[in-house]
Amino acid sequence: MLQAIVFYALSVLTIGSACIVAFSRNIVYSTFALLGAFMGVVGIYVLLAADFVAMVQLLVYVGGILVLTIFAVMLTQGIGDVAISNRAVGLVPAVVTAVIATGVMIYAVLHTHWHVAATAPIAPTTYGIGNALLGRFMLPFEVASLVLLSALVGAVVISRHEARE
């Protein structure tokens, strides 16, 4: 019972924060509401006993991307004074897309046969993931890191080139 209450509280936090992110006209409020959405997702991962995914979400998204976004918003002068000239341009396509997506999701939830699995014992997942990344999947893991490194170097080169011009 307590687990269901915590799940619904985290769901409300996540969905409410995501709605603020999407519908707020102030980018500072949207950025701080993104913190609530990310932390709600971390809480849901913890409830699912996915400790590795929860910590990766916390470290990468909350600790890295969100902090970078907050600094970018706070250090950009006049970001709160930006006036958007035509706010109603995409309103009709957005509403149509949202209604279609909601209908598809409701149809999928109502017409899917949900299998209920037996309750499994909760065990840490980090040991198995660490062994897999440093054992069987070591080569793809290292190749992915090289691809990310080359993308980062490319972004720096492009930004330096644009700064010189």
pLDDT digits (tens, 9 = 90+) for 36-90: 999 999 999 999 888 888 998 998 888 888 888 888 777 776 665 655 555 666 7
CA distance 9 to 12: 5
- Is a pLDDT exceeding 60 seen at residue 151? yes
pTM of the full predicted structure? 0.65
**Cα angle 78-81-86, degrees, rounded to a multiple of 5:** 135
d(CA 36, CA 52): 20
| Residue bearing tokens 């979400």 | 57
